[in-house]
């Protein structure tokens, strides 16, 4: 029988319950005891080595209540390489994306949640953005649900986020007039100067959102993409 490989596992854990926006001091990197890169006979799990992790607000939104213990590994969407597999659809060396841990190695008990990456020549980091969950959310929400036409007006809230910025760019590619809102002047400048929005405003400086929309959008808004203001 081949020797079982043993590794130490670096993890990012949440040290305490959250009462507001997450701070660096709420997190800690720890090195766990050794982990065996092996699975018992009869298992259908896989062990992956994580390569890229997407840092998103939802990573912490589920850890603000007392039912979630601190010092647990943070979970998130990421790209990983299969190290050991007893699942019929994956082999060692396969690249996958899906929900994993903020750690070097993760045991995935339900590999059905993983998607095999069939185009590994593309930059793997793209699969945490435009080719991953943010891209799918933006694409389906914009093209399949809103389905706007050229010349229509689109407003995107929280437009500088991973999904919002893609929605705005999809809208521009379609030929729409696009206005976005964000939570800081820096983000507003980013929307206009880098992401191609026609206009944008800082919603934290606005007393009346309706008045702001009238000021920035001089025609009827055809679609509003609400990305959950943060």
Half-sphere exposure (CA, 13 Å, Cβ side) for 50?
A: 24
pLDDT in tens, 39-86: 999 999 999 999 999 988 777 665 555 555 567 788 999 999 999 999
Q: pLDDT tens digits, residue range 205-226? A: 998 988 888 888 765 555 565 5
In the prediction, which pLDDT does 159 show?
95
Residue burial 90-118, b: 16+ Cβ < 10 Å; e: rest: beeebbbbbebbbbbbbbbeebeebeebe
Q: Is 42 left (phi over 0), alpha (psi -120 to 50) or beta?
A: left
Report the alpha-carbon distance of residue 54 to residue 40 in Å, rounded.
Answer: 30
Tokens 């507003």 correspond to: 188
Compute the average pLDDT of residues 9-27. Answer: 84
Q: Is there a contact between 76 and 16 (Cβ–Cβ < 8 Å)?
A: no
What residues contact residue 162 under an 8 Å CB cut-off, 6+ apart? 54, 56, 129, 134
Query: What does the block give as tokens for 187?
Result: 């983000």
Residue 190 has pLDDT above 80, yes or no: yes
Record the tokens describing residue 188, joined without a space: 């507003």
Q: How do residues 87-144 score in pLDDT, each as one tens digit?
A: 999 999 999 999 999 999 999 999 999 999 999 999 999 999 999 989 999 999 999 9
Q: What would the DSSP string read from start to end of 62-109?
A: TTSSTTS-SSPBPEEEEEEEEEEE-STT--TT-EEEEEEESBSEEEES
**Confidence (pLDDT) at 122:** 95
Residue 218: predicted pLDDT: 63
pLDDT grade for 230, boundaries at 50, 70 and 90:
very low
High-pLDDT (> 90) share of the chain, %: 64
Structural domains in the chain, CATH included, are 6-125 (3.90.180.10), 133-225 (3.40.50.720)
Q: What is the pLDDT of residue 229?
A: 40
Average pLDDT over residues 20-36: 84
Q: HSE-up of 83 (CA within 13 Å, CB side)?
A: 21
């Amino acid at each position: 029988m081949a020797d079982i490989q043993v590794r130490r596992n670096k993890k990012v854990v949440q040290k305490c319950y959250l009462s507001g926006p997450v701070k660096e001091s709420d997190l800690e990197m720890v090195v766990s005891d050794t982990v065996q890169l092996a699975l018992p006979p009869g298992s259908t799990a896989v062990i992956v080595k994580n390569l890229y992790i997407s840092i998103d607000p939802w990573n912490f939104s589920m850890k603000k209540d007392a039912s979630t213990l601190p010092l647990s590994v943070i979970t998130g969407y990421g790209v990983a390489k299969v190290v050991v597999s007893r699942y019929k659809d994956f082999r060692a060396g396969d690249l996958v994306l899906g929900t994993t841990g903020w750690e070097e190695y993760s045991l995935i008990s339900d590999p059905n949640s993983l998607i095999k990456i069939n185009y590994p020549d593309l930059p793997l980091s793209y699969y945490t953005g435009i080719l991953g969950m943010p891209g799918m959310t933006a694409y389906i929400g914009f093209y399949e649900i809103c389905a706007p036409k050229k010349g229509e007006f689109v407003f995107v809230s929280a437009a500088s986020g991973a999904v919002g910025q893609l929605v705005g760019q999809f809208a521009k590619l379609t030929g729409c007039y696009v206005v976005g809102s964000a939570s800081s002047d820096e983000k507003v400048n980013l929307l206009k100067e880098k992401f191609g929005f026609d206009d944008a405003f800082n919603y934290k400086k606005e007393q009346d959102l309706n008045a702001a929309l009238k000021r920035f959008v001089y025609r009827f808004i055809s679609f509003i993409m609400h990305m959950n203001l943060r």
